[in-house]
Amino acid sequence: GDSVTQMEGPVTLSEEAFLTINCTYTATGYPSLFWYVQYPGEGLQLLLKATKADDKGSNKGFEATYRKETTSFHLEKGSVQVSDSAVYFCALSDSGGGADGLTFGKGTHLIIQP
């Protein structure tokens, strides 16, 4: 079945550091890929998405590129802020038009220190 693997953390960085959170996936079809973010005490919010190979999703300074050859969708940000502290989930949708739920990774807890 489909699966998503990501580094679990916690990942602790200083403010203005460069961020990479690795995500790799296994899917039978041609999935869409997503990064969701969960701030403390809140539900998940969609951060960015990519629907086909070589697409780059971006939002709020975060970027991720859909790499079919390496089945990866790594999240990057050039300069993190304390407000980026959250749990980040990589996810895929392989529904082929159906209504299946997303397949999530286990989440990466990111802590940014001032």
**Residues found near another protein in the complex (CB under 8 A):** 8, 32, 34, 36, 41-46, 49, 51, 89, 93, 95-102, 104-107
The rounded distance, in Å, linking the Cα atoms of 38 and 109 is 9
Minimum distance from residue 17 beta carbon to another protein (Å): 25
Q: Where are the beta strands (DSSP E) in 1-114?
A: 3-6, 11-14, 19-21, 23-26, 32-38, 44-50, 56-59, 62-65, 75-77, 86-93, 103-104, 108-113
Identify which of residues 73 and 93 has a Cβ nearer to another protein in the complex.
93
Minimum distance from residue 82 beta carbon to another protein (Å): 22
Identify which of residues 65 and 104 has a Cβ nearer to another protein in the complex.
104
